[in-house]
Structure 1
Amino acid sequence: MLTFCVLLSVLFAQAVPEKFKLQRVVVLSRHNVRSPLSEHLAESSPRPWPHWDEKSGYLTPKGVYLEGLMADFFSKWLQNEGLLPHGCPEKNDVFVYANTKQRTKVTARAFVLKAFPGCNITVHFGDKSDPVFSPFVHNNTDTFKKEVLENMQEVLDSLHLNSSYELLDNILDYKDSDICKTNLKCDLATDMNKINEIMAGEKPTVSGPLKICNMVIDAFKMEFYNGFSIPDVAWGELNNSRWETLSKLTEGYHNVIFNSTILAKDIALPLIKYMKDIFINKNTKFTLLMGHDANILTFVTGMRFKPYILPNQYEKAPIGGKIVFQKWLNSKGQCFLKIHYVYGSTDQLRLGSKLSLMKPPQFKVLELEDCPVNDEGFCTWDSFEKLLKDF
């Protein structure tokens, strides 16, 4: 069996001091691989899109498999740290909560079945329009809307994406698409983007080329991760440099609709408050919350995480990726927080690479602006609870 320090150095790249003991883990996760969300892909290109067996937005068998790999890895880590036993955990030691979408519920169940095989672990979920995970605007005041629109427009105006637009235009043969023929809008680089009105109870949205690009590139990524043959992934038109060029479009889209701190905090507030209650009032040893990329993107902005880049990935919130909050106790009775982003690389996801303590997923230490860390990436738990009081 791996020793404590070796295990943590393998898992998180930095050794945790030997006298530190893991007390609790809270995980905020994105669901795993799904079919494309949009049913209108055919309108964006005259080229034939590959067939999916699943309904739009549904988790695929590959997504179930990949989540199982991550779950098996987490199970071994938690057991080796002594946080959870080998075999079934106690009833109140594990809590799993998922959004009501099929892809989130099935991802959560896939995690539970692999991490805790043969154990009666319930996946909890709320009503159809679960406010914890719904990425909706809450503040309905004119002052709020005005500030948000100004921030979003400022981000939109700062984008310089012509080379990315031109690349996607050529891949799609966009000038021969139904969108071009019907709407007479045929140039992704010069057609106008429009920020739509901010409405309480609805998602922030942008109309125009940026939204179309996000829809299309999302489909490309799901084709790639799901294991479609390379000629069927963006019709074989992509390599690493082209992936990077196109990913700037999805990053730009997400920055426009989610990068305003005031908007992100408003959208994520129900989730932040839900997690605040877990951190402060609950003693569950392992908690898993299964949501969407919108949840993670608004959460990290609303909570004021420092900017980060995930190595070996094109996304800020990769499929199946998990923000892992760890509470550690030292020999003096002092508690500390450490946060990692644990995720699959593009190759690990594409190949379905088996994970182990010696061949772990990718990881990245995350930092909060208001919770200063030491050289090992720890901030004090008291500092963390203090910043939570602002929510």
Structure 2
Amino acid sequence: MLATAPAQAAPDATVAPRAANGQPLTLERVVMLVRHGVRAPLDTEAAPGLAQGPWPSWPVAPSHLTPHGAAAATLMGAYQRQWLAANGLLPAQGCPAASQVAIWTNSAERTIRTGEAMAQGLAPNCPLPVGHRPPGTLDPLFDPFEAGAATVDAAAAVKAMEPEMDNVRNASTYLVPAIALTIRGLGCDKTLPACDLVQERTVISPSADNRGVDLRGPVAQTAGAAQIFILEYLEGMAPDQVAWGRLGAGPGLSDALAQISRLHGLQFDVFARNAYMAPRKAVALAPRMAEALTGAGQPPVTLLVGHDDNIAAIAGLLGVHFQVQGYGEDDPPVGGGLRLELWRDAAGQALVRVAYVAQTPDQVRNLAPLSLASPPWSAVLPLPGCGTLCPVKTVADKLSVAP
């Protein structure tokens, strides 16, 4: 699917599913894995040597959640509370019991603060704990490679993932418009000589220490800048500050950002989604989600706050793809993510529905209030082999990783 394709046509996840005979189902548990909210750019995203002009200033340090991002996350939390209450999993008002909700975030500032902001939306003015490791320490749930919970044989990884790399290797063919838009946003189309990233060869190779994989070429050169331009828009910056105004304004700007978003999402084909990397990236996270969904004594609602590559890895294990309105295929928007729902029919059979729920770019930019009548974008993601309602064992098996 090209970045210019419309958001996929899929059932709206706002509506509760029904059994094959039309009878209603009972919601028993929900496990959400979401990406942190709007943050200031990372130092590694700044496209040194390509960006023509000083980047806009941000109200927080690099990588930190912005106040705007926190406000958007609270709005999403409030919506999820409404949806959970409408489906009988949480009370409509008041504070949920301590045993009803579990929140765990990565130890980065942006994930902790996103969890706190979403908790305020889920349960305003309630003492809802937000768990995490000490700030700045490594959590193998979200950062297994850095924490030593998983390792990569880089040469074996490159060989194993090669059959899945066609989209990355062919980006300079089918994503020429998106690459050209990113080049225009950077302003290096006007330099002498102009940067011609389309002609760069894609190289996927073992890292020098053989502990990881390196990606070079058009996707690697444009993914970071594409993400910055999208973050500038989400933060509510004026159009002349989004990509220095080089991508226009209004609908034209929104369309350009949707196209370049695919470049950001495509890098996860290399680093997270493929059959070699996904079980390693999710070595601790996937079993944690399976336990939260099916284990005895687990709370009805579990919220995990991590990063885009965490979502990409779990989506890869499940074999699902998504395209949120206003974004490119498989690019996880800030503040949104996967929602695994455990339903039970009248005969006692447990069924799982997988959904993706995320605010559109304009909902985040404008801090649009969300409700069941004005929801965020959502879609039910059919799992290969079983569709939109799957036996719980099927999903648990997919989350059983053995790297």
Specify if TM > 0.5. yes
Q: What residue in structure 1 maps to residue 77 of structure 2?
A: 71
1:320 to 315, 323, 335: 335
Q: Structure 2 length as normaliser, TM-score?
A: 0.83
Shift of 1:268: 1.7
2:169 to 154, 157, 177: 157
CA contact (8 A) 1:149 1:195 kept: no
State whether structure 2 residue 215 is matched by structure 1 residue 206: yes
Q: What residue in structure 2 maps to residue 99 of structure 1?
A: 106
1:109 to 112, 116, 137: 116
Q: What residue in structure 2 maps to residue 191 of structure 1?
A: 200
1:234 to 229, 236, 243: 243
- Structure 1: how far apart are the matches of 2:399 and 2:168? 31
Q: Which amino acid aligns with 1:57?
A: S
1:287-322 Cα deviation digits (max 9, x unpaired): 0000000000111112322x3333343352111112
- Structure 1: how far apart are the matches of 2:202 and 2:341? 41
- Structure 2: how far apart are the matches of 1:346 and 1:214? 18
> Identical aligned pairs, as a percentage?
27
1:269 to 262, 283, 291: 283
Q: What residue in structure 2 maps to residue 278 of structure 1?
A: 292
CA shift in 2, pair 1:236/1:118, >3 Å: same
CA contact (8 A) 1:339 1:366 kept: yes
Q: What residue in structure 1 maps to residue 391 of structure 2?
A: 380
CA contact (8 A) 2:318 2:395 kept: no
CA shift in 2, pair 1:189/1:360, >3 Å: same
23-32 or 48-57: bigger deviation: 48-57
Q: Which amino acid aligns with 2:374?
A: K
Q: What residue in structure 2 maps to residue 147 of structure 1?
A: 159
- Structure 2: how far apart are the matches of 1:315 and 1:349? 19
2:325 to 307, 311, 314: 311
Q: Which amino acid aligns with 2:229?
A: F
Q: What residue in structure 1 maps to residue 185 of structure 2?
A: 171
1:27 to 24, 32, 51: 32
Q: Secondary structure at the match of 2:351?
A: strand
Q: Which amino acid aligns with 1:106?
A: R
Structure with more of its chain in helix, by fraction:
1
1:91-146 Cα deviation digits (max 9, x unpaired): 22211010111110100000112211232221111361111101638344477335
CA shift in 2, pair 1:21/1:65, >3 Å: same
The runs of 5 or more residues in structure 2 that have no matched partner are 1-10
CA contact (8 A) 1:152 1:195 kept: no
Shift of 1:22: 1.2
Shift of 1:51: 1.1
The runs of 5 or more residues in structure 1 that have no matched partner are 1-8
CA contact (8 A) 2:133 2:139 kept: yes
- Structure 2: how far apart are the matches of 1:164 and 1:387? 33
Q: Structure 1 length as normaliser, TM-score?
A: 0.85
Shift of 1:273: 1.7
CA shift in 2, pair 1:275/1:235, >3 Å: same
Q: What residue in structure 1 maps to residue 143 of structure 2?
A: 134
Q: Which amino acid aligns with 1:269?
A: V
- Structure 2: how far apart are the matches of 1:201 and 1:22? 46
- Structure 1: how far apart are the matches of 2:107 and 2:200? 36
CA shift in 2, pair 1:241/1:281, >3 Å: closer
Shift of 1:362: 0.8
206-215 or 148-157: bigger deviation: 148-157
Q: Which amino acid aligns with 2:120?
A: L
1:89 to 89, 96, 100: 96
Q: Which amino acid aligns with 1:26?
A: V
CA contact (8 A) 1:152 1:257 kept: no
255-264 or 335-344: bigger deviation: 255-264
CA contact (8 A) 2:74 2:117 kept: yes
CA shift in 2, pair 1:18/1:66, >3 Å: farther
Shift of 1:326: 1.1
Q: Secondary structure at the match of 1:56?
A: coil
Q: Secondary structure at the match of 1:122?
A: coil
Q: What residue in structure 2 maps to residue 5 of structure 1?
A: none
CA shift in 2, pair 1:42/1:15, >3 Å: same
Shift of 1:270: 1.7
